[in-house]
């Protein structure tokens, strides 16, 4: 098949009118900050900068944000009572069509992703088609934060085979209404929409290659539940799931696999890419991707401080702002990477065309250029304080099981207390095995603690073990029981294997 030059012809973004700063939560829920202020004072995590594996990179890049109770969140756009996912989608779609000089009647297909729309059930495709007055099919497509990239891949393929001549892709994310405001997850959720027209471009421009993989290992990172709000309206509510640590454990592997696969499919190499657009669900994600691929920070962008987590809208927003600011010019090679939890991760290489842009969104109200600058751990600091570097002693499952049974509990408690004192940079005598985790750990610190235990002891610990009135002693008891059970299973299997071997010897004799 002839590889036609197909890609993005126009691009537009649409954000709500309200810009919500951290003051909103500090004023509305002051009781949430008694513990977070303590954590900010305590959280000076010591890390080793010697390794380059996935979890080490993630842990090192998250370290500077442990001093901040908001974890790098500064501003986020949230819908007002008169706005919705549909109003944002309509505005972005109209601007993308106007920039491409296309009328709604000339659109041949529309693909829509509405992540957390107002209605329960299907997305906004039919509603948006009706509002735009399209004379073309429109359908919903969803692959969490990778939705825009997957839609672009589908649109290009359909145009490539001649099924359609152009495709309008529209994506929205309404995160602010999908979480409870008293859940700290709400601090990271933003709203927005984006749209682009996929069409034929000049020779050698457009999509050159892609690599999309499944992310089934991150199923359960987020839990979505149906609730009823005070007005009796059913809504979806999102909260962090027990599998949240897999976001950290798989982040580097996914970005490397997808980006290396995409450049190979495009017939280029990473050093030839002019600009990288990473989705950034956290403040440190751009730094993780930058280090994982070994590129310089100047070749990418981090809009997280401005928008917080806007899910599948991020690749559109990144490309829009990069093109608007001059970081991305016609005929540049651009690599877009997205990671959708419990769905797909993907990367796509494009030769950027003469892309027409919609109207510029309202600027941030308190963001400085320095706050959107990407710093890498070990080279620069996000704060004025220099974070300590520390090598922690190794501790393994084998060491624990090799010890006398009566000594194992003390070894475990010493190991757990050691991690806490090292991570929080406090004197060892400040903690006891009977102390609860409630005043020590938030969800991010608990996630890191859980990942460390899993790595050292190969034991899966439920996330709820790190919250509420649970104590270090109880966690040690749980770990001992898990290890004893695992060891018993291994012993039974070993004895069964020996029995089968003896029976085979008898038969052979």
Residues 223 and 311 in one domain: yes
| Helical residues (DSSP H) of 282-403, grouped into ranges | 285-293, 304-307, 314-325, 397-402
Assess if residue 291 is contained within a domain: yes
What's the CATH number where 20 sits?
3.40.47.10
DSSP-assigned states of every residue in 348-379: EEEE----EE-PPPPPPSS--GGGGS---TTT
* Structural domain span for residue 24: 6-44+54-372
Residues 367 and 435 in one domain: no
* 217 touches 251 (CB < 8 A): no
Residues 343 and 423 in one domain: no
Residues 229 and 312 in one domain: yes
Assess if residue 388 is contained within a domain: no
Q: Where are the beta strands (DSSP E) in 165-295?
A: 167-174, 191-200, 206-214, 222-228, 234-240, 275-278
Assess if residue 385 is contained within a domain: no
Assess if residue 378 is contained within a domain: no
d(CA 312, CA 315): 7
Residues 107 and 200 in one domain: yes
Residues 368 and 402 in one domain: no
Distance of CA 189 to the CA centre of its chain: 12
CA-nearest of 124, 55, 116, 61 to 89 is 124
Assess if residue 313 is contained within a domain: yes
Last residue of one domain, picked from the residues 372, 407, 433: 372
Residues 356 and 450 in one domain: no
Assess if residue 91 is contained within a domain: yes
What tokens were used for 310? 């806007």
Q: pLDDT of the chain along its 509 residues, tens only?
A: 567 999 999 999 999 999 999 999 999 988 776 554 444 443 333 344 445 577 789 888 988 887 788 989 999 999 999 999 999 999 999 999 999 999 999 999 999 999 999 988 889 999 999 999 999 999 999 999 999 999 999 999 999 999 999 999 999 999 999 999 888 889 999 999 999 999 999 999 999 999 999 999 999 988 888 888 777 888 888 988 878 888 888 999 999 999 999 999 999 999 999 999 999 999 999 999 999 999 999 999 999 999 999 999 999 999 999 999 999 999 999 999 999 999 999 999 999 999 999 999 999 999 998 899 998 875 544 433 333 333 445 678 888 888 888 888 888 888 888 877 777 666 777 778 887 776 667 667 777 787 778 878 888 787 777 777 788 888 888 888 888 777 664 444 455 555 555 555 555 54
Last residue of one domain, picked from the residues 317, 337, 372: 372
The pLDDT > 70 percentage for the chain reads 85
Residues 262 and 128 in one domain: yes
Residues 187 and 91 in one domain: yes
Category of 101 on φ-ψ map: left (φ > 0), alpha (ψ -120 to 50) or beta: left
* 12 touches 360 (CB < 8 A): no
Exposure pattern of 270-290 as b/e (b: 16+ CB <10 Å)?
beebbbbbbbbbbbbbbbbbb
Number of domains in the chain: 2
What's the CATH number where 404 sits?
1.10.1200.10
Is the whole-model pTM more than 0.85? no
Residues 83 and 174 in one domain: yes
Residues 130 and 190 in one domain: yes
Last residue of one domain, picked from the residues 357, 372, 387: 372
Q: Are strands 333-339 and 344-351 parallel, antiparallel or unpaired?
A: antiparallel
Distance of CA 413 to the CA centre of its chain: 32
Residues 79 and 31 in one domain: yes
Assess if residue 383 is contained within a domain: no
Assess if residue 381 is contained within a domain: no
């Amino acid at each position: 098949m002839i590889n036609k030059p197909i890609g993005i012809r126009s691009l537009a973004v649409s954000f709500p009118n309200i810009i919500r700063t951290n003051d909103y939560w500090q004023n509305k829920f002051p009781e949430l900050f008694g513990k977070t202020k303590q954590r900010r004072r305590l959280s000076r995590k010591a890390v080793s900068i010697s390794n380059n594996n996935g979890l080490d990179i993630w842990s090192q890049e998250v370290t500077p944000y442990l001093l901040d109770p908001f974890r790098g969140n500064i501003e986020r756009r949230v819908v007002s009572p008169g706005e919705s996912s549909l109003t944002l989608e309509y505005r972005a779609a109209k601007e993308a069509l106007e920039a491409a000089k296309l009328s709604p009647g000339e659109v041949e297909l529309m693909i829509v992703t509405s992540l957390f729309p107002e209605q329960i059930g299907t997305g906004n495709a039919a509603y948006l088609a009706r509002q735009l007055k399209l004379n073309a099919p429109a359908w919903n497509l969803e692959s969490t934060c990778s939705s825009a990239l997957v839609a672009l891949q589908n649109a290009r393929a359909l145009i490539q085979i001649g099924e359609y001549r152009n495709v309008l892709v529209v994506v929205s994310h309404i995160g602010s209404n999908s979480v409870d405001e008293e859940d700290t997850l709400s601090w990271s959720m933003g709203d927005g929409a984006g749209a682009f027209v996929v069409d034929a471009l000049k020779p050698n421009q457009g999509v050159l290659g892609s690599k999309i993989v499944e992310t089934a290992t991150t199923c359960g990172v987020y839990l979505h539940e149906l609730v009823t709000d005070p007005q009796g309206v059913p809504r979806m509510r999102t909260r962090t799931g027990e599998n949240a640590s897999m976001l950290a454990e798989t982040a580097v592997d996914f970005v490397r696999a997808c980006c290396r696969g995409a450049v190979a499919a495009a017939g280029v190499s990473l050093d030839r890419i002019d600009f990288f657009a990473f989705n950034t669900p956290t403040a440190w994600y751009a730094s993780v991707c930058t280090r994982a691929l070994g590129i310089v920070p100047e070749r990418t962008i981090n809009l997280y401080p401005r928008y917080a987590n806007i899910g599948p809208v991020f690749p559109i927003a990144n490309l829009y702002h990069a093109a608007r600011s001059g970081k991305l010019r016609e005929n540049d090679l651009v690599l877009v990477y997205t990671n959708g939890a419990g769905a797909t991760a993907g990367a796509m290489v494009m030769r950027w065309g003469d892309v027409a842009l919609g109207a510029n969104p309202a600027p941030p109200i308190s963001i400085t250029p320095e706050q959107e600058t990407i710093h890498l751990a070990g080279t620069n600091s996000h704060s004025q304080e220099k974070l300590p570097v520390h090598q922690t002693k190794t501790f393994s499952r084998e060491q624990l099981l090799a010890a006398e049974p009566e000594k194992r509990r003390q070894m475990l408690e010493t190991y757990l207390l050691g991690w806490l004192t090292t991570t929080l940079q406090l004197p060892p005598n400040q903690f006891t095995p009977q102390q609860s985790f409630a005043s020590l750990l938030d969800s991010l610190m608990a996630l890191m603690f859980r990942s460390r235990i899993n790595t050292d002891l190969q034991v899966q610990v439920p996330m709820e073990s790190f919250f509420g009135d649970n104590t270090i002693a109880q966690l040690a008891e749980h770990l001992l029981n898990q290890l004893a059970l695992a060891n018993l299973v291994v012993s039974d299997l070993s004895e069964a294997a020996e029995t089968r071997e003896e029976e085979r010897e008898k038969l052979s004799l």
